Amino acid sequence: MRQRKLTPVPSTPSTAVDGGLAAFNAAPLPAARDFLRPCVDIDRWIEEVAAGRPYADVAAALAAARTAAPDWTEAELDAALARHPRIGERAAGADAEAALSRREQSGVGHDPDVQERLREGNRAYEDKFGRVFLIRAAGRSAEEILSALQDRLRHTPEEELPVIAGQLREIAILRLEGLLTA
Protein backbone atom coordinates (compact mmCIF):
# COMPACT_ATOMS: atom_id res chain seq x y z
CA MET A 1 0.00 0.00 0.00
CA ARG A 2 1.43 3.36 -1.01
CA GLN A 3 1.82 5.96 1.77
CA ARG A 4 0.50 9.43 1.08
CA LYS A 5 2.88 12.32 1.58
CA LEU A 6 2.36 14.71 4.52
CA THR A 7 1.73 18.03 2.78
CA PRO A 8 0.83 21.24 4.65
CA VAL A 9 -2.02 23.21 3.10
CA PRO A 10 -2.13 26.25 5.41
CA SER A 11 -5.07 28.12 3.96
CA THR A 12 -7.65 25.37 4.49
CA PRO A 13 -8.02 24.21 8.10
CA SER A 14 -10.07 21.12 7.36
CA THR A 15 -7.28 19.83 5.12
CA ALA A 16 -4.25 21.23 6.88
CA VAL A 17 -2.42 18.04 5.95
CA ASP A 18 -2.98 15.46 3.29
CA GLY A 19 -2.92 11.90 4.47
CA GLY A 20 -4.15 11.99 8.05
CA LEU A 21 -2.90 9.41 10.52
CA ALA A 22 -1.16 7.10 8.03
CA ALA A 23 0.89 9.94 6.59
CA PHE A 24 1.65 11.34 10.06
CA ASN A 25 2.88 7.92 11.20
CA ALA A 26 5.09 7.50 8.13
CA ALA A 27 6.42 11.07 7.95
CA PRO A 28 10.04 11.90 8.70
CA LEU A 29 10.45 13.44 12.17
CA PRO A 30 10.84 17.07 10.92
CA ALA A 31 7.60 16.79 8.91
CA ALA A 32 5.80 15.23 11.89
CA ARG A 33 6.92 18.16 14.06
CA ASP A 34 5.66 20.64 11.47
CA PHE A 35 2.36 18.76 11.34
CA LEU A 36 1.92 19.13 15.13
CA ARG A 37 3.06 22.75 15.57
CA PRO A 38 -0.31 24.37 14.60
CA CYS A 39 -1.96 22.33 17.36
CA VAL A 40 0.13 23.91 20.12
CA ASP A 41 3.55 25.47 19.80
CA ILE A 42 5.19 23.76 22.77
CA ASP A 43 8.32 21.89 21.74
CA ARG A 44 8.24 19.29 24.54
CA TRP A 45 4.67 18.32 23.60
CA ILE A 46 5.52 18.21 19.90
CA GLU A 47 8.58 16.04 20.52
CA GLU A 48 6.74 13.61 22.77
CA VAL A 49 3.76 13.17 20.43
CA ALA A 50 5.99 12.82 17.35
CA ALA A 51 8.28 10.34 19.12
CA GLY A 52 5.31 8.12 20.05
CA ARG A 53 4.57 7.24 16.43
CA PRO A 54 3.36 5.07 14.91
CA TYR A 55 -0.09 5.15 16.47
CA ALA A 56 -2.52 2.31 15.89
CA ASP A 57 -5.42 4.66 15.35
CA VAL A 58 -6.55 8.25 15.89
CA ALA A 59 -7.79 7.44 19.40
CA ALA A 60 -4.32 6.22 20.40
CA ALA A 61 -2.70 9.35 18.98
CA LEU A 62 -5.16 11.58 20.84
CA ALA A 63 -4.64 9.66 24.09
CA ALA A 64 -0.88 10.14 23.77
CA ALA A 65 -1.37 13.83 23.00
CA ARG A 66 -3.58 14.28 26.08
CA THR A 67 -0.85 12.97 28.37
CA ALA A 68 2.21 14.37 26.58
CA ALA A 69 4.30 16.87 28.55
CA PRO A 70 1.64 17.32 31.25
CA ASP A 71 3.56 19.91 33.24
CA TRP A 72 3.75 22.83 30.83
CA THR A 73 5.75 25.65 32.36
CA GLU A 74 4.54 29.21 32.60
CA ALA A 75 7.16 30.20 30.01
CA GLU A 76 5.90 27.51 27.61
CA LEU A 77 2.31 28.64 28.10
CA ASP A 78 3.24 32.28 27.51
CA ALA A 79 5.16 31.40 24.34
CA ALA A 80 2.22 29.36 23.01
CA LEU A 81 -0.27 32.10 23.93
CA ALA A 82 1.77 34.68 22.03
CA ARG A 83 0.50 33.05 18.83
CA HIS A 84 -3.18 33.09 19.83
CA PRO A 85 -5.50 35.94 18.85
CA ARG A 86 -7.82 37.47 21.39
CA ILE A 87 -11.23 35.88 21.64
CA GLY A 88 -13.52 37.75 19.27
CA GLU A 89 -10.69 38.97 17.05
CA ARG A 90 -10.08 37.41 13.67
CA ALA A 91 -6.70 35.66 13.49
CA ALA A 92 -4.43 37.24 10.91
CA GLY A 93 -2.27 35.27 8.53
CA ALA A 94 -2.56 32.41 6.12
CA ASP A 95 -0.80 29.77 8.20
CA ALA A 96 -2.55 26.65 9.47
CA GLU A 97 -2.77 27.91 13.06
CA ALA A 98 -4.52 31.14 12.03
CA ALA A 99 -6.95 29.22 9.84
CA LEU A 100 -7.73 26.80 12.68
CA SER A 101 -8.26 29.70 15.09
CA ARG A 102 -10.70 31.42 12.72
CA ARG A 103 -12.74 28.24 12.43
CA GLU A 104 -12.72 27.64 16.20
CA GLN A 105 -13.96 31.14 16.93
CA SER A 106 -16.72 31.07 14.33
CA GLY A 107 -19.36 30.68 17.06
CA VAL A 108 -18.40 33.96 18.73
CA GLY A 109 -20.53 35.86 16.22
CA HIS A 110 -20.45 39.46 15.11
CA ASP A 111 -23.02 41.10 17.37
CA PRO A 112 -21.61 44.57 18.19
CA ASP A 113 -22.67 44.32 21.86
CA VAL A 114 -21.00 40.92 22.25
CA GLN A 115 -17.87 42.16 20.49
CA GLU A 116 -17.65 45.17 22.83
CA ARG A 117 -18.14 42.99 25.91
CA LEU A 118 -15.41 40.65 24.67
CA ARG A 119 -13.04 43.59 24.05
CA GLU A 120 -13.69 44.90 27.58
CA GLY A 121 -13.28 41.44 29.09
CA ASN A 122 -10.09 40.80 27.13
CA ARG A 123 -8.64 44.11 28.36
CA ALA A 124 -9.55 43.36 31.96
CA TYR A 125 -8.07 39.88 31.70
CA GLU A 126 -4.84 41.13 30.12
CA ASP A 127 -4.56 43.89 32.73
CA LYS A 128 -4.95 41.37 35.54
CA PHE A 129 -2.96 38.40 34.19
CA GLY A 130 -0.60 39.94 31.64
CA ARG A 131 -1.55 37.50 28.89
CA VAL A 132 -4.31 36.92 26.37
CA PHE A 133 -7.51 35.24 27.57
CA LEU A 134 -7.59 31.72 26.15
CA ILE A 135 -10.55 29.40 26.02
CA ARG A 136 -11.54 26.51 23.83
CA ALA A 137 -14.05 28.45 21.76
CA ALA A 138 -15.10 25.55 19.52
CA GLY A 139 -18.57 24.41 20.50
CA ARG A 140 -19.20 27.36 22.82
CA SER A 141 -21.54 30.27 22.27
CA ALA A 142 -20.46 33.86 22.75
CA GLU A 143 -22.49 33.99 25.97
CA GLU A 144 -20.76 30.89 27.34
CA ILE A 145 -17.37 32.41 26.53
CA LEU A 146 -18.30 35.70 28.17
CA SER A 147 -19.54 33.88 31.28
CA ALA A 148 -16.32 31.86 31.53
CA LEU A 149 -14.29 35.05 31.07
CA GLN A 150 -16.11 36.74 33.95
CA ASP A 151 -15.67 33.66 36.17
CA ARG A 152 -11.97 33.43 35.40
CA LEU A 153 -11.42 37.11 36.17
CA ARG A 154 -12.14 36.14 39.80
CA HIS A 155 -9.15 33.75 39.83
CA THR A 156 -5.79 34.51 41.30
CA PRO A 157 -2.83 34.15 38.92
CA GLU A 158 -1.97 30.86 40.64
CA GLU A 159 -5.51 29.54 40.12
CA GLU A 160 -5.60 30.68 36.50
CA LEU A 161 -2.41 28.96 35.26
CA PRO A 162 -3.77 25.39 35.36
CA VAL A 163 -6.99 26.60 33.71
CA ILE A 164 -4.96 28.12 30.87
CA ALA A 165 -2.97 24.89 30.50
CA GLY A 166 -6.18 22.86 30.40
CA GLN A 167 -7.78 25.09 27.80
CA LEU A 168 -4.65 25.06 25.66
CA ARG A 169 -4.51 21.26 25.86
CA GLU A 170 -8.20 21.01 24.83
CA ILE A 171 -7.50 23.24 21.83
CA ALA A 172 -4.44 21.18 20.89
CA ILE A 173 -6.38 17.90 21.05
CA LEU A 174 -9.26 19.25 18.96
CA ARG A 175 -6.85 20.58 16.37
CA LEU A 176 -4.90 17.33 16.25
CA GLU A 177 -8.08 15.31 15.85
CA GLY A 178 -9.13 17.52 12.97
CA LEU A 179 -5.77 17.17 11.27
CA LEU A 180 -5.57 13.41 11.74
CA THR A 181 -9.05 12.81 10.37
CA ALA A 182 -8.89 15.26 7.46
Length of the chain: 182
- For residue 95, pLDDT beyond 70: no
Percent of the chain exceeding pLDDT 70 equals 77
Q: Is this structure's pTM higher than 0.85? A: no
**At residue 133, does pLDDT exceed 50?**
yes
CA dihedral sign of residues 134, 139, 141, 142: positive
Please check the confidence at residue 179 and state whether its pLDDT lies above 90: yes
Please state the domain extents for the chain: 75-170
Question: What is the model's pLDDT at position 115?
Answer: 85
pLDDT of amino acid 178: 92
* Confidence label for 83 from pLDDT (cuts 50, 70 and 90): confident
Q: What is the largest distance, in Å, between two alpha-carbon atoms of the chain?
A: 55
Higher pLDDT residue, 52 or 89? 52
**Percent of the chain predicted with pLDDT > 90:** 64
Q: What share of the chain is helix, strand, coil (3-state, %, to 5)?
A: 60, 0, 40
Name the average pLDDT for the chain. Answer: 83
Q: Quick one: pLDDT at residue 112?
A: 86
Please calculate the CA angle 119-122-125 and round it to the nearest 5 degrees: 150
- pLDDT interval class at 6 (50, 70, 90): very low
Other C-beta atoms lying within 10 Å of the C-beta of residue 108: 20
Position 132 scores a pLDDT of: 93
Q: What is the pLDDT of residue 19?
A: 66
Return all residues near 32 (Cβ < 8 A) that are at least 6 apart: 6, 24, 50, 53
Between CA 23 and CA 53 the distance in angstroms is 11
Q: Given 1.10.569.10, 3.10.20.600, 1.10.3330.10, 1.10.240.10, which CATH number is that of 75-170?
A: 1.10.3330.10
